[in-house]
Chains A and B, each alone.
Chain A
Amino acid sequence: MVRIRLCEESFVEPILSGQIRCPVHLYSGQEAIATGVCAALFEKDYVFGSHRSHGHYLAKGGDMRELVAEIYCKEPGCSRGRGGSMHIIAPEIGMAGSVPIVAGTISLAVGAALALKIKREKRITVSFFGDGAAGEGVLYESLNFAALKKLPIIFACENNFYSTHMPIRECRPENNIFKIGAPFCIQSYRVDGNDVLKVYEVTKHSVGLCRKGLGPVFIEFMTYRLRGHVGPNDNIQETYTDIRPKEEIAKWRKKDPIRRFQAFLIKNRIIRRETLERIDREVEEEVKEAHEFAKESPYPNPNELTKYVFKE
């Protein structure tokens, strides 16, 4: 969680100074979900993400230097500077891809789960998407087909209450996304997405069901993003489009998943405050090095514009 938070926050300054130009959707505030879910997976399990997937990438074990380099659109980036922040991948550790078409990877994740079933493998797939994706028809088609074929897939919905600028009350008659699994006979749960232990617990249970052939499972994680929809503060051409009430943001700051887990660890004498501070310092160093690596790295060669259109 600390790696994700410090990595995410490290993009703020280079975005504001114009060093990073591609659209960046920060995951700050939602770290417990990626962390808790991926902790319950093996490296060979697949995860698919969305426009806000730096956290999924890091939690699954993706290389931080390659992530940061990608966000600077440099050649050594995880997508060789062709994708930027919204298209990140690390096939070697099961991060199968993330894209900014809302709900775009849900059916792809179903396909990966179908492949595992055809090959009779015990691996599973997790599809991460936000509450906004619950407005897309393909989610319902995917739920139906996955349930029909009993596929080993977890539909992980991160409900942060906002679909870009639209509050959920303006998108759905009721804030109850987890209920959409029921008509398809899908085991469904709703948990506090800012409590990493609860996230881990429900995911571990769901992974067990999927590995036993009792999938799919639908989990709705209730959470909140501490930054704007895109960039640090949704500043679009000097118009601030983050219209969330200040009191609401302040309320969720108190539920910060990292502070909560740190308090739990200290209270239960699992870890000492000094150790936590040491972890912070080590991560700060790692993040700093990743930025240095990215800044020193070359941009893609302009002559290679059409390389990768097709696989040769």
Chain B
Amino acid sequence: MRKLSYSLAINEALHQMMDSDPSVFLIGQGVKSPWYVGNTAKGLLEKFGPERVIDTPVSENAITGTAVGAALVGMRPVVVHPRVDFMMYAMDPIINEAANWHYMFGGKSSVPVVIWGIINRGGEQAAQHSQSLHALFAHVPGLKVVMPSTPYDAKGLMVAAIKDDNPVIYMDDRWLYNLEEEVPEEVYSVPIGKGVIRREGKDVTLVATSYMVVESVKASEELGKEGVEVEVIDLRSVTPLDETLLFESIKKTGRLVIADGGWKTCGMAAEISAMVSENVFDDLKAPIMRVTLPDAPAPASRTLEKNYYPDFKTIVHAVKAVLRK
């Protein structure tokens, strides 16, 4: 099978979905500029024209609303925010409108829109170009939030998000864009709400999201050398969250470390921890540990950045701490 990078896997999903369904279109700032969206939109404008590949002025609020409005009259738009930070301008159409729409009209109308936000951490970009705000959206009923960590899932979850009849927040991390693996050429979906075990183990469950899956796998390899068998779960979707997979693993290992690329307070890691305490407390042999960003804005300077972003070493440390208890 041929190999594809993460970003080109997204690109292939867009090509194939736009090809097979005329109601799919791409809209957002920078869709014709690799400076904004890398090579994820490569060849789309040439193939589908400016009517379905719409580069826009900097108007996140109205443009996201436009995508939501098009969705509720039967289109399947993908609206891209090349930086999650700028999505904050679009909180009204995402939260007040898209998320509530199906419920507040008693199921009479739905919003099959994909709201795609690219996380751009590191690179001394500092506080307003680096935020990973998936937990904010996971908090809101009516939104699904997916975070693929591999090229295979990047394609399959984009296809699934476009086909879904509900608003789906699709969040990818630029740090994943150059990952390569075998990706099937045909169209396929990765089910939203289903996690996957990346490495089996019996000593500790290590559940991770997005880029933190990469660091978690690395950590599990390190720990493997010392004889510690870590079970790594890639959630893939943060809402709905695959509780069954998580709880089954904890029943086996009795220990849990959560690695998430967001902040600690009220973040995904906090939610997962609460979910586990509520449901499988009796299976736990030790307190749960969280590996997250510290509760601080992203800094610019590289010396501060180094301390800001957790990596496999931070995770190894956390796993060892859990094992000691």
Q: A interface vs B, CB < 8 Å?
A: 46, 48, 77-83, 87, 89, 91, 96-97, 99, 101, 104-118, 137-138, 141-142, 144-145, 148-149, 307-311
Contact A145 B62 (CB under 8 A): yes
Contact-residue bracket for chain B? 35 or more
**A89 proximity list for chain B (CB < 8 A):** 105, 108-109
**A118 proximity list for chain B (CB < 8 A):** 25, 51-52, 70, 75
A309 touching B65 in the complex, CB below 8 Å, given contacts A82-B105, A97-B72, A111-B71: no
- Interface residues in B88-145 (C-beta closer than 8 Å to A): 92-93, 96-97, 101-110, 141-142, 144
6 further contact pairs, Cβ within 8 A, besides A114-B70, A308-B106: A78-B105, A83-B106, A110-B62, A110-B69, A111-B69, A148-B57
Quick one: which of B59, B61, B66, B102 has the most chain A CB within 10 A?
Answer: B66
How far is it, in angstroms, between the C-alpha of A101 and the C-alpha of B65 when the chains are bound? 13
Contact B68 A108 (CB under 8 A): yes
B14 to chain A, nearest CB (A): 16
**A99 proximity list for chain B (CB < 8 A):** 96-97, 104
Q: Is the CB of B265 closer than 8 A to any CB of chain A?
A: no
**A310 proximity list for chain B (CB < 8 A):** 102, 142, 144, 166
How far is it, in angstroms, between the C-alpha of A104 and the C-alpha of B110 when the chains are bound? 16
How far is it, in angstroms, between the C-alpha of A57 and the C-alpha of B72 when the chains are bound? 17
- Interface residues in B40-64 (C-beta closer than 8 Å to A): 51-52, 54, 56-57, 59, 61-64
A137 touching B107 in the complex, CB below 8 Å, given contacts A109-B69, A309-B102: no
**A106 proximity list for chain B (CB < 8 A):** 62, 65
A-B contact count (CB 8 A): 143
Contact A111 B70 (CB under 8 A): yes
A44 to chain B, nearest CB (A): 11
How far is it, in angstroms, between the C-alpha of A69 and the C-alpha of B67 when the chains are bound? 31
Contact B66 A114 (CB under 8 A): yes
Contact B92 A101 (CB under 8 A): yes
**B107 proximity list for chain A (CB < 8 A):** 80, 307-308, 311
Contact A311 B102 (CB under 8 A): yes
Q: Of A80, A81, A110, A137, which one neighbours B66 at CB under 8 angstroms?
A: A110
**A112 proximity list for chain B (CB < 8 A):** 69-70, 72-73
A104 touching B96 in the complex, CB below 8 Å, given contacts A111-B71, A137-B61: yes
How far is it, in angstroms, between the C-alpha of A78 and the C-alpha of B107 when the chains are bound? 10
How far is it, in angstroms, between the C-alpha of A78 and the C-alpha of B69 when the chains are bound? 19
Contact B96 A78 (CB under 8 A): no
**A307 proximity list for chain B (CB < 8 A):** 107
* 28 A-B pairs whose Cβ atoms sit less than 8 Å apart in the complex: A46-B73, A79-B104, A79-B108, A81-B106, A82-B103, A87-B105, A96-B72, A97-B101, A101-B96, A101-B97, A104-B93, A107-B93, A108-B68, A108-B93, A109-B69, A110-B69, A111-B66, A115-B70, A115-B73, A141-B62, A142-B66, A145-B56, A145-B57, A149-B54, A309-B142, A310-B142, A310-B166, A311-B166
Q: Of A48, A105, A142, A308, which one neighbours B102 at CB under 8 angstroms?
A: A308
**B92 proximity list for chain A (CB < 8 A):** 101, 104, 138
Contact A107 B64 (CB under 8 A): yes
A78 touching B108 in the complex, CB below 8 Å, given contacts A112-B70, A310-B166: yes
A60 to chain B, nearest CB (A): 14
